[in-house]
A and B are shown apart, each in its own frame.
Chain A
Amino acid sequence: MTSAGAGAATAFAAAGAPSPAVSLPRRRGIELALIVVAVLLSVYGYCAVGVARHGTLPPGAAGYGAGLGVLALVAHLAVRLRAPYADPLPLPIGVLLNGIGLVLIYRLDLETPGDRAAPTQLVWSTLGITLFILVVAALRDHRVLQRYAYVSVVAALALLTLPILFPAVNGARIWIRIAGFSIQPGEFAKVLLAVFFAAYLAANRTALAYAGRRFWFVQLPTGRVLGPIVAIWLLSVGVLVLERDLGTSLLFFGLFVVMLYVATGRTGWIAVGLLLASLGAVAVGRLEPHVHGRIEDWLHPFASIDAGLGPNQLAQSLFAFSAGGVLGTGLGLGHSVLIGFAAKSDFILATAGEELGLAGLSALFLLYGLLVERGYRAGLALRDPFGRLLAVGLASIVALQVFVIAGGVTGLIPLTGMAMPFLAQGGSSVVTNWAIVALLIRVSDSARRQYDGSTAP
């Protein structure tokens, strides 16, 4: 670890700062400029929808822009004061994605006059950015979190099991309803589990890496350390079976395998992970009708059309993407509302694909890619194993989640219900994603602060 960390430090010094004695640029001005761009782009999208639909600027454009702008500025101030060395990219990316999400939801609200989701989403975004500010302001050092590993995992398990007590909504038991608000506790559990995994693996990685027999090319783990892994696998399958939430289960398991690999470097873990995952997937795919149906839909998206039942959601989603073509129909001019149920949440990307085209969709994917890349870069730059694993874990959550849901709605993999980070309607998801960005800001601040010659690491 020490040598690896030193290597990274050398590489960084060679690339960015020739003399460690000079104070690093803090790049807060870049961040501010990018935030202004992000807010302006969102306001432009909002206006484009209004002009396309009614021929006039929407009446709320100024208020919307001011609201988003103030939130983003306060977040920026918090970063400037409390995390001055932080990476300048994650916050503008979050603001832009959240802003585009609000535009898309507002745009879909026009098609469903009885269901206005954008104002609620704006409230949740405010809560999310508030949480971001709180995390950036209150959490001075990410290593503090290491102490709360077991608190985190207990909280995560509690959050995951809570919805089992509530009635299923649309075939999945992942919501709890309190006072008219729907909350998806599994979303919050993601971050808590990433914290726990990072802490557990940072503490046990040597034992995990170097124990066990070698069999053929694969270093097998010992039974003692295999326990937690099997436990996680069971947890994932349990989530899947009890809550019928294929996406979350896939996300947890993928997250764990990635972090385990990064912590130990053992390909054996990957082999075991893939084996367990495929066993679980085959068994559940066969036994669980909900999941089986999703796989059938993925293999034959137009089967319902051939059967004379009309296009199903996935077929409608594919039609929407295809209608977008390269340049898109333009905001407000598509017909992604044909998807029907979940057009604003799980299928929000179809609206982006139809109205912004391949160009806009690729831009969105690259924005997510950039966010993930910034997380990994922070992980590479940090020295403490916990911080590295936490950064990698948080970035991987975003990467896996985007892949699972975007791949699902574009027919790349079987569709699983998940929220597109920042874009999709859903309060829990937005709040969680702001927490992830806050933690990335925090670790990236630590990562760069340690190289600043003007302050003590």
Chain B
Amino acid sequence: MTRHIRHAAAFCALLLLALLLNALRVQVVRSAAYDGNPANRRESIARYGQPRGDILVGGAPVTGSRDTGEQLRYERTYLDGPLYAPVTGFASQEYGTTFLEHAEDDLLSGLDPMLAPLPLWNDVTRGRPPGGMVVTTLDRRAQQAAYAALDGRKGAVAAVEPATGRVLALVSSPSYDPALLSGNDPGAEAAWRRLNGDPDRPMLNRAVSQTYPPGSTFKVVTAAAALDAGVVTDLDAPTDSPVPYRLPGTTTRLTNSGDGCADAPVREAFEWSCNTVFAKLGVRVGLARMSRTAQAFGFNDPDARIPFPVATSTFDTSLDQAQLALSSIGQYNTRATPLQMAMVSAAVANGGQVREPYLVERTTRRGGATVGTAGSRSARQAMSPSTAVRLRELMEDVVREGTGTRAAIRGARVGAKTGTAQHGIGNAGTPYAWCISWAQGRRDIEPSVAVAVVVEDGSANRGEITGGGMAAPIARAVMAAVLAP
């Protein structure tokens, strides 16, 4: 019997061994898969178990957290939700995160390993440091001015600091309050459905996620390419430009909205936005150089991030001559985000140099200690400095006596280029009003702001949708807000 008791004991030992090995399997070997299972609520509970870090504009938070006492304890709040929605995005317990809330999620939710006092500290203590803070580059007054000037019309504003690429304003209209989506209650679900079903698409970030045909504002790029390539040497010499201009290889005739464009010098053609002159100029520059210049300004860059991704602005690189002519005046396949056009304006203002735009100045711990800074961003030369000087002249002329007079600010140097972009099949859509501009205060040594404005107002009288009429005053308001002491 003793032997058999030993056998039975050995059997029990086997059972014990099986339990131990299986515990090892569940708790260690398969642990990552189980922890990462989307149906496992632990990650959510930990994530919402502490207040989310805040996003700061001008030194003050524009976000907050509310203790709900529920299982997912803290909910995101926004102090001025619709105003900053294109920057913050939303942080929803149900629908995830977008924009800065998404791009800086690890930091805001305390997951970023940089927040830990020591490497691997959190893995040992199983703790989670408080969420960090994101300090943005936004200028509160510029943001407010842009939002107020758009006044609910469909459109967007992007403003950057030319010398650095700091994003000063990023506004999209109509907007929405991201706080509506924070929770996981039926109210959030209803808001989600309503916002997604809204034909005005309030959750679309028109400043960075939407591309528009840039229209005449693209003539800045064409002019830069022509000047750099030596196709144009004298801004005041007459160009050999017929009106109407027959697109090469086709019978299509291109005309202008105004008179006096036949053989107009580049200075006048820029001031009065002559399509015929710039279409022909683009063809003379050639596809290769046009593409190269457009790409130097930031077109065709699929990886643009500020730090959330920006929709790719496009300049088609396989075009025939007729298509190139249209592309050179910002039509055909050419499309740009408002932020991209702000970069174009900024390049002119910054001596031809394009600074990568960025929205996050630095990230800090909850207490304020810096975790990361934007550092110096790469710069590209989009045009030679001398070309930039001449383009600045051209843009200033537009404000002084051309289509952009409504962008003028007393006592400041202001340059602008307006545009009215056709779109839709047979150009049947309501045109988009554009204005890109830059401004230099009286005491500043260099321009301190570059702005791009687009207004796509379907309800407006078609005749009134011109860059100079609708978009320039908005650009002016934003620039004035930045220049104001």
Q: Give chain A's interface residues, CB within 8 Å of chain B.
A: 1, 4-5, 7-8, 258, 261-263, 265, 302, 305, 310-311, 315, 318-319, 321-327, 329-330, 333, 335, 338, 353, 357-358, 361-362, 365-366, 368-369, 372-373, 376, 379-380, 385, 388, 392, 395-396, 399-400, 402-403, 406-407, 410-412
Q: Within 8 Å CB of A379, what residues of B?
A: 5
Q: Within 8 Å CB of B7, what residues of A?
A: 261-262
Cβ-defined contact, A388 with B1, below 8 A:
yes
0 or 1 for each of B41-68: is its CB under 8 Å from A? (1 = yes): 1100100000000000000000000000
Check A321/B27 contact, CB under 8 A, given A305-B37, A315-B39, A399-B15.
yes
Secondary structure of the A contact surface, majority rule? helix
B389 within 8 A of A: no
Partner of B23, one of A7, A358, A372: A358
Cβ-defined contact, B11 with A369, below 8 A:
no
Secondary structure of the B contact surface, majority rule? helix
Tell me which residues from 7 to 28 in chain B have a Cβ below 8 Å from any Cβ of chain A: 7-9, 11-13, 15-16, 18-20, 22-24, 26-28
- Total A-B contacts with CB atoms under 8 angstroms apart: 137
Check A358/B28 contact, CB under 8 A, given A338-B41, A365-B16.
yes
Chain A, Cβ-Cβ closest to B15 = A403
Cβ-defined contact, A411 with B22, below 8 A:
yes
Closest 3 CB pairs of A and B: A322-B34, A399-B12, A412-B22
Cβ-defined contact, A265 with B126, below 8 A:
no
Task: Determine how close the nearest CB of chain A comes to the CB of B101; give it in whole angstroms.
Answer: 24
Q: List 13 A-B contacts (CB under 8 A).
A: A7-B2, A261-B7, A319-B37, A319-B39, A321-B27, A321-B34, A366-B16, A372-B9, A372-B16, A379-B5, A392-B8, A400-B15, A410-B23
Q: Within 8 Å CB of B4, what residues of A?
A: 261-263, 265
- Of A319, A362, A388, A396, the most chain B CB neighbours within 10 A belong to A319
CA of A107 to CA of B11 in the docked complex: distance in angstroms?
34
Cβ-defined contact, B27 with A361, below 8 A:
yes
Partner of A335, one of B2, B13, B31, B41: B41
CA of A400 to CA of B1 in the docked complex: distance in angstroms?
20
B193 within 8 A of A: no
CA of A8 to CA of B35 in the docked complex: distance in angstroms?
50
B3 within 8 A of A: yes
Check A324/B9 contact, CB under 8 A, given A365-B20, A385-B1, A403-B15.
no
Q: Give chain B's interface residues, CB within 8 Å of chain A.
A: 1-9, 11-13, 15-16, 18-20, 22-24, 26-28, 30-31, 34-35, 37-42, 45, 124, 126
CA of A338 to CA of B1 in the docked complex: distance in angstroms?
47
CA of A373 to CA of B15 in the docked complex: distance in angstroms?
13
Cβ-defined contact, A406 with B42, below 8 A:
no
Cβ-defined contact, B2 with A380, below 8 A:
yes
Cβ-defined contact, B19 with A376, below 8 A:
no
Partner of A380, one of B5, B15, B22: B5
Check A410/B22 contact, CB under 8 A, given A319-B42, A325-B28.
yes
Cβ-defined contact, A325 with B27, below 8 A:
yes
CA of A1 to CA of B5 in the docked complex: distance in angstroms?
12
Cβ-defined contact, B23 with A365, below 8 A:
yes
Cβ-defined contact, B31 with A369, below 8 A:
no
Cβ-defined contact, B2 with A358, below 8 A:
no
- Of A4, A262, A392, the most chain B CB neighbours within 10 A belong to A262
Check A407/B1 contact, CB under 8 A, given A321-B26, A376-B12.
no
Cβ-defined contact, A362 with B22, below 8 A:
no
Chain B, Cβ-Cβ closest to A369 = B16
Cβ-defined contact, B8 with A258, below 8 A:
yes
Cβ-defined contact, B5 with A311, below 8 A:
no
Partner of B19, one of A258, A261, A333, A403: A403
CA of A5 to CA of B1 in the docked complex: distance in angstroms?
9
Check A412/B19 contact, CB under 8 A, given A262-B1, A305-B39, A335-B42.
yes
